[in-house]
Amino acid sequence: MPKMIFVNLPVADLKRSIGFYEAVGATKNPQFSDDTAACMVVSDAIYVMLLTHEKFRQFTPKTIADARSTSEVLLCLSADSRDGVDEIVGKAAAGGRLDPCPKQDYGFMYGRSFEDPDGHIWEVMWMDVEAAMKAGGETAAA
Protein backbone atom coordinates (compact mmCIF):
# COMPACT_ATOMS: atom_id res chain seq x y z
CA MET A 1 0.00 0.00 0.00
CA PRO A 2 1.43 3.42 -0.92
CA LYS A 3 2.09 5.90 1.86
CA MET A 4 -0.60 8.51 2.35
CA ILE A 5 -0.46 11.96 3.87
CA PHE A 6 -3.17 13.56 5.99
CA VAL A 7 -2.71 17.31 6.35
CA ASN A 8 -4.73 18.52 9.34
CA LEU A 9 -5.70 22.20 9.21
CA PRO A 10 -7.61 24.24 11.79
CA VAL A 11 -10.38 26.28 10.16
CA ALA A 12 -12.61 29.04 11.50
CA ASP A 13 -15.60 28.32 9.22
CA LEU A 14 -15.86 24.66 8.24
CA LYS A 15 -18.60 25.11 5.63
CA ARG A 16 -16.72 27.93 3.89
CA SER A 17 -13.48 25.92 3.92
CA ILE A 18 -15.21 22.86 2.45
CA GLY A 19 -16.54 25.02 -0.39
CA PHE A 20 -13.10 26.51 -1.00
CA TYR A 21 -11.32 23.15 -1.17
CA GLU A 22 -14.04 21.73 -3.43
CA ALA A 23 -13.52 24.73 -5.72
CA VAL A 24 -9.80 23.94 -6.07
CA GLY A 25 -10.56 20.33 -6.96
CA ALA A 26 -10.79 18.31 -3.72
CA THR A 27 -13.79 16.13 -2.99
CA LYS A 28 -15.40 15.65 0.42
CA ASN A 29 -15.42 12.13 1.82
CA PRO A 30 -18.64 12.03 3.87
CA GLN A 31 -17.57 8.83 5.65
CA PHE A 32 -14.90 10.79 7.55
CA SER A 33 -16.73 14.11 7.87
CA ASP A 34 -19.16 15.57 10.38
CA ASP A 35 -20.05 18.99 11.76
CA THR A 36 -16.57 19.35 13.34
CA ALA A 37 -14.35 17.96 10.57
CA ALA A 38 -14.25 17.28 6.85
CA CYS A 39 -11.98 14.89 4.99
CA MET A 40 -11.10 16.47 1.65
CA VAL A 41 -9.61 14.07 -0.89
CA VAL A 42 -6.94 15.68 -3.09
CA SER A 43 -5.68 12.38 -4.57
CA ASP A 44 -5.48 8.70 -3.69
CA ALA A 45 -2.57 9.55 -1.39
CA ILE A 46 -3.31 13.11 -0.20
CA TYR A 47 -6.07 14.07 2.23
CA VAL A 48 -6.72 17.42 3.88
CA MET A 49 -8.54 17.18 7.19
CA LEU A 50 -10.35 20.44 7.87
CA LEU A 51 -10.96 20.68 11.61
CA THR A 52 -12.89 23.28 13.58
CA HIS A 53 -10.68 24.97 16.15
CA GLU A 54 -12.46 23.08 18.93
CA LYS A 55 -11.81 19.75 17.21
CA PHE A 56 -8.19 20.66 16.35
CA ARG A 57 -7.49 21.46 20.03
CA GLN A 58 -8.30 17.81 20.89
CA PHE A 59 -5.10 16.77 19.08
CA THR A 60 -2.57 19.27 20.43
CA PRO A 61 -1.92 21.19 23.64
CA LYS A 62 -0.30 24.01 21.62
CA THR A 63 -1.94 27.28 20.68
CA ILE A 64 -3.44 27.33 17.19
CA ALA A 65 -1.40 29.67 15.05
CA ASP A 66 -3.09 32.43 13.09
CA ALA A 67 -1.95 31.43 9.60
CA ARG A 68 -2.51 34.99 8.37
CA SER A 69 0.32 36.28 10.55
CA THR A 70 2.37 33.20 11.53
CA SER A 71 3.68 30.40 9.36
CA GLU A 72 4.26 26.91 10.68
CA VAL A 73 4.16 24.86 7.50
CA LEU A 74 4.49 25.33 3.75
CA LEU A 75 2.33 23.05 1.65
CA CYS A 76 3.12 22.21 -1.95
CA LEU A 77 1.25 20.22 -4.60
CA SER A 78 2.65 19.08 -7.91
CA ALA A 79 0.97 19.75 -11.24
CA ASP A 80 1.37 17.99 -14.58
CA SER A 81 2.17 21.17 -16.55
CA ARG A 82 2.60 24.94 -16.37
CA ASP A 83 -1.03 25.29 -17.44
CA GLY A 84 -1.99 22.87 -14.66
CA VAL A 85 -0.34 25.18 -12.13
CA ASP A 86 -2.31 28.16 -13.43
CA GLU A 87 -5.53 26.12 -13.50
CA ILE A 88 -5.28 25.00 -9.87
CA VAL A 89 -4.28 28.44 -8.60
CA GLY A 90 -7.02 30.06 -10.71
CA LYS A 91 -9.65 27.88 -9.03
CA ALA A 92 -8.66 29.41 -5.70
CA ALA A 93 -9.63 32.91 -6.87
CA ALA A 94 -13.24 32.68 -5.65
CA GLY A 95 -12.46 32.15 -1.97
CA GLY A 96 -8.78 32.75 -1.42
CA ARG A 97 -5.91 35.05 -2.23
CA LEU A 98 -3.78 34.36 -5.29
CA ASP A 99 -0.01 34.50 -5.36
CA PRO A 100 0.77 35.53 -1.77
CA CYS A 101 4.32 34.37 -2.57
CA PRO A 102 6.25 35.47 -5.67
CA LYS A 103 5.77 33.40 -8.81
CA GLN A 104 8.69 31.13 -9.60
CA ASP A 105 9.63 30.68 -13.25
CA TYR A 106 12.95 29.06 -14.05
CA GLY A 107 11.92 27.64 -17.42
CA PHE A 108 12.24 24.01 -16.29
CA MET A 109 10.29 24.76 -13.08
CA TYR A 110 7.21 26.92 -12.59
CA GLY A 111 5.27 27.65 -9.44
CA ARG A 112 2.55 29.82 -8.02
CA SER A 113 0.68 29.94 -4.74
CA PHE A 114 -2.67 30.59 -3.16
CA GLU A 115 -3.91 31.23 0.34
CA ASP A 116 -7.04 29.54 1.70
CA PRO A 117 -9.70 31.43 3.71
CA ASP A 118 -7.79 30.76 6.96
CA GLY A 119 -4.44 31.97 5.63
CA HIS A 120 -2.78 28.60 4.93
CA ILE A 121 -0.47 29.00 1.94
CA TRP A 122 -0.36 26.29 -0.73
CA GLU A 123 2.25 26.28 -3.48
CA VAL A 124 1.59 24.53 -6.79
CA MET A 125 4.69 23.51 -8.74
CA TRP A 126 5.48 21.93 -12.11
CA MET A 127 8.94 20.74 -13.05
CA ASP A 128 10.41 19.24 -16.21
CA VAL A 129 12.67 16.76 -14.41
CA GLU A 130 14.83 16.02 -17.46
CA ALA A 131 15.48 19.71 -18.12
CA ALA A 132 16.14 20.30 -14.40
CA MET A 133 18.74 17.51 -14.34
CA LYS A 134 20.42 18.93 -17.42
CA ALA A 135 20.43 22.46 -15.95
CA GLY A 136 21.90 21.14 -12.69
CA GLY A 137 24.62 19.26 -14.56
CA GLU A 138 25.57 22.33 -16.57
CA THR A 139 25.71 24.42 -13.41
CA ALA A 140 27.94 21.86 -11.66
CA ALA A 141 30.31 21.71 -14.64
CA ALA A 142 30.72 25.49 -14.83
Q: Beta strand pairing status for 121-127 and 27-29? A: unpaired
pTM of this structure: 0.85
State the amino acid at position 24 in one-letter form: V
**What's the pLDDT tens digit per position in 57-106?**
999 999 999 999 998 888 999 999 999 999 999 999 888 889 999 999 99
Q: Which of 74, 70, 65, 84 is nearest to 10 (CA)?
A: 65
Let me know if 74 is exposed, middle or buried by CB neighbors in 10 A (0-12, 13-18, 19+).
exposed
Confidence of residue 142 (pLDDT cuts 50, 70, 90): very low
- Which residues have CB under 8 Å from 44's CB, separation 6+? 2, 4
What's the confidence (pLDDT) of residue 140?
Answer: 41
Q: Which of 138, 100, 96, 101 is nearest to 118 (CA)?
A: 96
Instruction: Determine the 3-state secondary structure of 41 from DSSP.
Output: strand
- Thinking of the domain 66-142, which architecture would CATH place it in? Roll (3.10)
The CATH 3.10.180.10 portion of the chain extends over 1-64, 66-142
Cα–Cα distance measured from residue 10 to residue 20, given in angstroms and rounded to the nearest whole number: 14
**What's the CATH fold of domain 1-64?**
2,3-Dihydroxybiphenyl 1,2-Dioxygenase; domain 1 (3.10.180)
